[in-house]
Structure 1
Amino acid sequence: MPLVTAGVVVLDCAEPEKLAEFYKQLLDAEETVVSANRVELRAAGGTRIALRRDTNATPPSWPRPENSLQVHLDFLVEDLDAAERRVVSLGGRPLEAKDAPGPYEERGFADPAGHSFTLRRTPPPAPKRG
């Protein structure tokens, strides 16, 4: 058994219950732990995320240079346009509208509390050879 195992990504925010609703619907997740200051979620694919109350939390200013990127989440999707519509309908907002260069297409967003995340298109499977 390993000494340390991966835990859960924790985002600080002023209202964890509200932010949990955004991620519950985006990830089709269920609440696994709820306390006065923390809500934990687990998505069907095993992704775990927690929202912790910090009454002094301020949203990151990324991509503006005066505040560094505090955390960045990547979510894999098959249909970027459909996923973007879902994010916006849940209260998220686009940070970047252009496609990133390279083999993976991605788009940047902020959740309702201002944390940045990326929707990244899953790469198509390689064609069979032979």
Structure 2
Amino acid sequence: MALVKAGVVVLDCVEPEMLAVFYKELLEAEQTDATANRVEIRGADGIRLAFRRDVNATPPSWPRPENSLQVHLDFVVEDLDEAERRVVGLGGRPLDTKDAAGPFEERGYADPAGHSFTLRRTSSTAPKQG
């Protein structure tokens, strides 16, 4: 048995309740725990995220170099356009919507508190035709 097991990814933010709602709706998750300074959710696929109150939290500035990317989340989606509409409808904002080269299509976003994340669509696993 492992001495240390993976726990939960925790994002610091000024308003954890509001940020939890964003991710809860985005991931169709359920709230599993809440205190005055922390809210935790679990997505249908088992991913666990928590949001911790830090009244001095400042969002990362990615893609600018100062205070840039500290950590980000990757989410896999089937339809990038539909997922983007959902993100924006929930209060997120696009950071970079250029198509990435290579086997993946991905787009960068910021959640309402400024944390960056990526929506990524993997290439089809269907066999090539012709």
TM-score scaled by length of structure 1: 0.95
Aligned to 2:10: 10
Q: How does 1:22-61 map to 2 (within 5 A)?
A: 22-61=22-61
For the residues of structure 2 that align with 1:49 and 1:127, how far apart are their CA atoms?
35
Q: Which runs of 5+ in 1 are unaligned?
A: none
AA matched with 1:56 = N
Q: Tell me, yes or no, if structure 1 residue 62 matches structure 2 residue 67.
A: no
Deviations 1:8-57 (A, max 9, x none): 10000000000000000000000111001000000000111000000000
1:123: Cα distance to partner?
2.7
AA matched with 1:95 = L
Regions of 4+ moved over 3 Å: none
For the residues of structure 1 that align with 2:73 and 2:26, how far apart are their CA atoms?
13
Identity, in percent, stands at: 77
Structure 2 residue matching 1:107: 3-state secondary structure: strand
Q: Which runs of 5+ in 2 are unaligned?
A: none
Aligned to 2:118: 118
Aligned to 1:74: 74
For the residues of structure 2 that align with 1:126 and 1:10, how far apart are their CA atoms?
36
1:70: Cα distance to partner?
1.3
1:126: Cα distance to partner?
4.4
1:103: Cα distance to partner?
0.5
For the residues of structure 1 that align with 2:60 and 2:12, how far apart are their CA atoms?
11
TM-score scaled by length of structure 2: 0.95
For the residues of structure 2 that align with 1:123 and 1:6, how far apart are their CA atoms?
28
Q: What is the aligned length?
A: 128
AA matched with 1:70 = Q
For the residues of structure 2 that align with 1:22 and 1:4, how far apart are their CA atoms?
30
Structure 2 residue matching 1:95: 3-state secondary structure: strand
1:71: Cα distance to partner?
1.1
